[in-house]
A and B are shown apart, each in its own frame.
Chain A
């Protein structure tokens, strides 16, 4: 046996992508259901267009979301939690800039009861003052702790300047905003939840009665449309420094406003990004971690929201090599613009990405996450198969063109937080 010769491998086959079954509930509300589950677990997401971009005042969207199930006229937060817990139910409150909602986790013999508790708490949410005060206190504390981290300082500053502070995406909460919250803000925002259409995603073997139970619930929800916020993005270019006394590492974030998943260059850019900093074998990792040892980790990505997407490189490095690292990041970007990616490296990245598709669609919950991606980004059902085709067919020349077109150094925002 010759150990120097690698065994033969085959490329991951393109997947037959499974789609959830769509069920129309009342009031034009849709339920997407995957029932092919091997065990008794059930996961239900209920998602509204109620993310932080719709708020008129900082923190209102997230506080409303977190306190949706924190008290009714008859039940206090403790009683509601006890009911969920006794049923073995887990509740997650999820919010990002675009969407907000609630996820219920449970076993199928209890999911109907768990949903009833949700319904009872949700329908008559009163946002008790004591709960608001408590959450303000906890979140203020978390805020203060996170302000001590260079990674947080850097990320926040980057967020402001990548979108512009006047836009809904670019606004960042400050400490004083916590004290300006009041119960009426939350009660008003709650009307979004009551009056606008959510979408439901269900993974699990459930009875027809449970589907009917969901249908009955949707009869209680209104059909209003909400107005979209102003999002005229203005990205800052050039360098921003946040000084953090005594920091022994600096956090670095470099990037630019780019595009969403429907842009014609999106697939090719994803391949390019993978080469640059999208996996363990990437050029940034190879150079800045595996060759120079400047950092524990470095990566790049394309972060896509509903109304915009941005490219970023992110790392934390030893204080003394902050400038050297920034220089190397630009060197790696420039190499992509001036030299063709070798066939060998491209082959590696393509195969890795195909394997990654398999990993990301393993199991019903993962498959539903893929579907949510299609749903929320308004993509076609061919999105994943098109992506796989595009990965297979992209050429070194196309990647170089994409790098020249989209990664011009002069268009970048560069944020450093540290003792610099």
Chain B
């Protein structure tokens, strides 16, 4: 059970306090409601580049990291298609240092040309390291545009290509900041060994004078329903042929998410899962095979992907997956198998919630999804799912007119 208390400042900043007396630490987590989905098609990768610039000094503080490190703190951040999240972990008594730093960069960045020049280069090297200089690294660069024709989920967080990052200007940076980085567009979560009153006083002290800016109203066209099977083959110098199948499904906020999550575990979660047993182990066609959800907040995907064994054709491998899906739908799921994945979920959840940073980030995510009051109902949501729900999900999702298939052919 995650407990919390909330308050909101006049400028629109929502603050959530989570008390944990067992830790010597405090986590200060700021989530901004902006991600790669808010970019325009010719300036992609910008939300993530901007995240780097947030560490390049703010209006009154030249260097972000040094004061935090002096106070024994550490920080990091990540950007995804939906949100951008910044977090600091430091000894609880030094909470104010983090609030001073975070509030100043919410007030205004330093906007130095040097920071922009360097971080463009750093992000370009990140692009190369993660996406270009790795076998199979560019899969999502190629796959997303096949799946999404309208929605900004058609590009990955890093951006469509290096040029978009190289061409980012200071004017772009400033405009992005004022559009997305105001208090009305953020949630501040403070968790750890600090009292509510202390938190409230210090947050008011450092954040009250930040002006509210114009509320950003997101207006992203929904991706139309898919009506045809889509295919793309690319050739790469990689060791094995690889197959990727993406099925459209409900987004993270829909009940489908929970059904999809359990079904994914039934299909590929561990060594007693169906696809592992059938297609990796007993009648081997793949050297590895996994399923997962992208769990986007606006649209979801159920992904099945794997590397083919050398003597197996794409046709045969794909057919084998369809056969497994048919078998699932025809023969259903017995009680033992369903209980199994629910039990595994319960254990994983308990371990995950042990960690203060995980709890604090979860609170931030749920709040930005507009589901804070649901945060302790996850287990119940999984518990209520029946075998029938999973079969209905499978029938609806795993159809040919709802799939995009990418094959990577080894050169």
**Which A residues form the contact surface with B (CB < 8 A)?**
1, 3-4, 6-13, 15, 38-41, 77-78, 81-82, 84-90, 105-107, 110, 134, 137-138, 141, 144-145, 147-150, 246-249, 279-281, 289-296, 316-318, 347-349, 351-352, 354-356, 358-359, 362-363, 365
Contacts and interface: CB of A to CB of B under 8 A. Distances in A.
A41 B120 contact: no
A217 B80 CA distance: 47
B129 A316 contact: yes
A289 B66 CA distance: 16
Give the interface SS of chain A, mostly helix, strand, loop or mixed: mixed
B72 A4 contact: no
Given A6-B100, A7-B97, A82-B272, A363 B129 contact: no
Contacts of A354: 72
B70 A85 contact: no
15 contacts: A1-B209, A3-B59, A6-B70, A10-B93, A41-B354, A86-B340, A88-B346, A89-B347, A137-B284, A145-B240, A296-B129, A352-B73, A356-B74, A358-B72, A359-B25
A119 to B, nearest CB: 18
Interface string B181-213: 000000000000000000000000110010000
A384 to B, nearest CB: 14
Contacts of B65: 280-281
Nearest to A130: B281
A6 B64 CA distance: 11
A149 B75 CA distance: 29
A149 B340 contact: no
Contacts of A13: 24, 91
Nearest to A295: B125
A247 B70 contact: no
A149 B237 CA distance: 12
Leading 5 A-B pairs by shortest Cβ distance: A355-B72, A293-B121, A88-B343, A144-B239, A3-B60
B340 A41 contact: no
B319 to A, nearest CB: 21
A348 B125 contact: no
A88 B345 CA distance: 7
A141 B117 contact: no
B217 interface: no
A280 B74 contact: yes
Given A39-B353, A145-B135, A359-B89, A351 B348 contact: no
Nearest to A15: B24
Contacts of A107: 346-347, 350
A292 B120 CA distance: 11
B234 interface: no
Contacts of A355: 69, 71-74, 90-91
B355 interface: yes
Given A41-B350, A86-B339, A293-B118, 5 more contacts: A6-B97, A9-B97, A134-B280, A294-B121, A355-B72
B307 interface: yes
Contacts of B104: 3
B271 interface: yes
B97 A141 contact: no
Contact of A141 (B91, B122, B124, B239): B239
A317 B272 contact: no
**Residue among B100, B104, B125 with most chain A CB within 10 A:** B125
A279 B350 contact: no
B91 A293 contact: no
B96 interface: yes
Interface in B319-347: 336, 339-341, 343-347
**Residue among B107, B121, B205, B269 with most chain A CB within 10 A:** B121
Interface in B233-253: 237-240
B251 to A, nearest CB: 28
A106 B271 CA distance: 17
Nearest to B115: A290
A291 B75 CA distance: 19
Contacts of B90: 355
Contacts of B396: none
Nearest to A36: B22
Contacts of B107: 3
A290 B118 CA distance: 6
A351 B69 CA distance: 7
